[in-house]
Amino acid sequence: MAWALTPLTEEQRAIQSTAREFAKRELAPFADEWDENAHFEPAIITKLAELGFLGMMVPEQYDGLGLDTLTYLVALEEIAAVDASTAVLMSVHNSLPTQMLLRWGTEEQKSRFLKPMARGELLGAFALSEPDSGSDAASLRMQATRDGDCWVLNGTKAWVSSGTHAGVVMTMARTDTPEDRKGARGIGAFIITPDLPGYIVGKKEDKMGLRASPTVQLHFENLRVPKQNLLGEPGLGFIYAMQSLDAGRLGIAAQAVGIAQAALSHASKYAAERRQFGKPIKEFQAIQFRLADMAMKVAASRALLRAAATARDRGQQIRQFSAMAKLMASETAMWVTTQAIQIFGGYGYVKEYPVERFFRDAKVTEIYEGTSEIQRIVIARELYSHLGGDR
């Protein structure tokens, strides 16, 4: 049983067990095969939608479940513990494009896009990075040029999760002009749909982990989007994206905690079954100490994550808190999955047990939605901003 700092409410426990049952029934039998074949199963979208899991933090008036951040993350952790690929689909959709529409969308945008997204009829993706701009996100080059009642977008987006099946791609593009560059304040957020002429799905990445989650490049060639599809102010898209990533990073932290918990559970079970030198290996102190450190780190990561989620639910600014939660959880996931493989020995190095997949899936949590280095930059900068000092 997963340890928690604060007991969950009855409703949170009910949603947790719904997510756990769903993962056991709909994901566990297929996760290894999907991983092996890099297969994305589109039926998962419908099944998540039936549970309301694609509109978890969207208020009921916009067809969502109207749950808080903590409850959403508790469910996400359960999904990630079985299939981290499904977890990233859920995380990006719930934390980024839907939250951006909820916060900055007009009523018309909410009824056209947010409602069907919350019902799971349109899957959301998020397009910020480009082939030449990752950590330095504000250096993105995709250009949006105003032309009458439209914006015309040209450029390439990279690392777009769920990009093959997205119905809405929240896309950051430059709204400033080449003659008058405005840096981070010259970027707009656009609601892009795949039916727009000029929308081209590019190469699908052949990844180390999260292989059942399709990650693609998107090319926009003279893609004309009506001006009604601009979110908020034309120069504030980067700020919206950064603010949304504060919540997005909590989703990745929950994914990492789920992966780490799964590795811990599998390793402790295996240590009780596997016998060497005449006894179960769990009776050797080398294994006990390893399992103890794994359990401690998972518990600490979960506690920090849930504290950050609660802070968000109280309306507090969580920029630093979410960076800490993501950094700690993702480094924990990488460390714990490495230890799990060591406990399994040779059996951990082959595909017979899922720890090998957990290890590969854990790695990306240290990379996407901001690398561990970026999280450290955010944490350190906030130290100075809180103290009122210079950055």
Hey, which residues are catalytic here? 369
Q: How many Å separate Cα 299 from the centre of its chain?
A: 20
Residue 175 to residue 190: CA distance in whole angstroms:
10
Residue nearer to ligand CAA on the CB measure, 201 or 242? 242
Residues 318-347 that bind ligand CAA (CB under 6 A): 319
| Cα Rg of the chain, angstroms | 21
Residues 64-93 that bind ligand CAA (CB under 6 A): 92
Q: Which burial class, exposed, middle or buried, applies to 361 when counting CB atoms under 10 A from its CB (0-12, 13-18, 19+)?
A: buried
Half-sphere exposure of 295 (CA within 13 A, CB side): 14
Contact between 378 and ligand CAA by CB under 6 A: the answer reads yes
Contact between 379 and ligand CAA by CB under 6 A: the answer reads no
Residue nearer to ligand CAA on the CB measure, 16 or 162? 162
Size of the site for ligand CAA (CB under 6 A): 24
- Least distance between ligand CAA and beta carbon 96 (Å): 7
H helices within the chain, ranges in order? 10-22, 31-37, 43-50, 69-80, 84-95, 97-104, 107-109, 115-118, 237-273, 285-313, 319-344, 355-363, 372-387
From residue 28, alpha-carbon distances to 32, 83, 163, 257, 372 in Å are 8, 7, 23, 17, 29
Going residue by residue from 239 to 268, which x/- string records binding to ligand CAA, judged by CB under 6 A? x--xx-xx----------------------
Residues 139-198 that bind ligand CAA (CB under 6 A): 159, 161, 184-185
- Least distance between ligand CAA and beta carbon 87 (Å): 11
Contact between 129 and ligand CAA by CB under 6 A: the answer reads yes
Residue nearer to ligand CAA on the CB measure, 218 or 336? 218
Q: Which burial class, exposed, middle or buried, applies to 390 when counting CB atoms under 10 A from its CB (0-12, 13-18, 19+)?
A: exposed
Going residue by residue from 192 to 231, which x/- string records binding to ligand CAA, judged by CB under 6 A? ----------------------------------------
Residue nearer to ligand CAA on the CB measure, 224 or 319? 319
Cα of first residue to Cα of last residue in the chain, in angstroms, is: 43
- Which residues of this protein are in contact with ligand CAA, per CB under 6 A? 92, 126, 128-129, 135, 137-138, 159, 161, 184-185, 238-239, 242-243, 245-246, 319, 368-370, 374, 377-378
